[in-house]
Amino acid sequence: MNWEAAGAIGEIVGALGVILSLVYLATQIRVQNRESRVAAVNEWTSQWNSFLVSFAENPNLSELWSRGVHDFTSLNPTEVVQFSSQCGRLFRVGESLFDQYRQGRFDPRTWRGVQRTLEDVARFPGAKQWWPTRSHWFSDEFVALVQPWFDSTEPQRMYSEPIQPARGKD
């Protein structure tokens, strides 16, 4: 065997090593990207669930929310802050999930469930009264998505009357 043949074999082995390294690197990047997407979705889903749990664990907040979505203007100043905070939280998480969805990091089926919830809330009279006071806080893309829901004359599909405060036993 001469030096030229040995050199050619060395180049072939080196090229195969580079190719195998690139395949390994591409596989690792793909796995890491998938794990990053899963972590992001889990974080946003956790925030969404945290929002929902706040109502289950706090009857006063549930009652305030119920009154607010039916008539924002009937709330006193403290209640306006509380209700606005909850609406802001809901739509901010929704905006973040929408961004994740647009970037392909959020499953379309899961996004559709979030979208339907936001749509239902946006159809309430109180939410329609609240939105103009805070819509400027959100991205133009998100506003373009949700504005038709707030403008819709279609009735909301959730509870139809405000929850009445619980009365203590006399």
Phi, psi of 76, rounded to the nearest 5 degrees: -80, 170
Indicate whether 31 belongs to any domain: no
* pLDDT recorded at residue 170: 44
Please check whether residue 138 is in contact with residue 91, taking contact to mean a CB–CB distance below 8 angstroms. yes
Cα–Cα distance, 170 to 165 (Å, whole number) = 15
- The answer to whether residue 117 sits within a structural domain is yes
The answer to whether residue 15 sits within a structural domain is no
Q: Which of 167, 160, 168, 166 is nearest to 59 (CA)?
A: 166
Residue 52 within any structural domain of the chain:
yes
Domain that holds residue 131: 39-151
Summarised one tens digit per residue, pLDDT across range 130-152 is 999 999 999 999 999 999 999 99
Answer whether 162's CB lies under 8 Å from 70's CB: yes
Do the beta carbons of residue 50 and residue 115 sit within 8 Å? Answer: no
CB-based contacts of 91, cutoff 8 Å, min separation 6: 118, 134, 138, 142, 146
Crossing angle for the helix pair 108-122 and 3-57, to the nearest 10 degrees: 30
Asked if pLDDT for residue 75 goes beyond 90, the answer is yes
Q: Considering the domain boundaries, does residue 113 fall inside one?
A: yes
- Domain count for the chain, please give it: 1
Both tokens of 143, joined, read 């506003």
Q: Are 26 and 122 in contact (CB under 8 A)?
A: no
Q: Which helix (H) or strand (E) holds 8?
A: helix 3-57
Instruction: Let me know if residue 126 belongs to a domain.
Output: yes
Query: What's the half-sphere exposure (Cβ side, CA atoms, 13 Å) at 20?
Result: 6
Residue 28 inside a domain? The answer is no
Distances (CA, A) of 16 to 9, 12, 19, 24: 11, 6, 5, 12
Whether pLDDT at 78 is above 50: yes
Instruction: Indicate whether 49 belongs to any domain.
Output: yes
Tell me: the pLDDT tens digits for 93-140? 999 889 988 988 778 888 898 899 899 999 999 999 999 999 999 999
Q: What is the pLDDT of residue 64?
A: 92
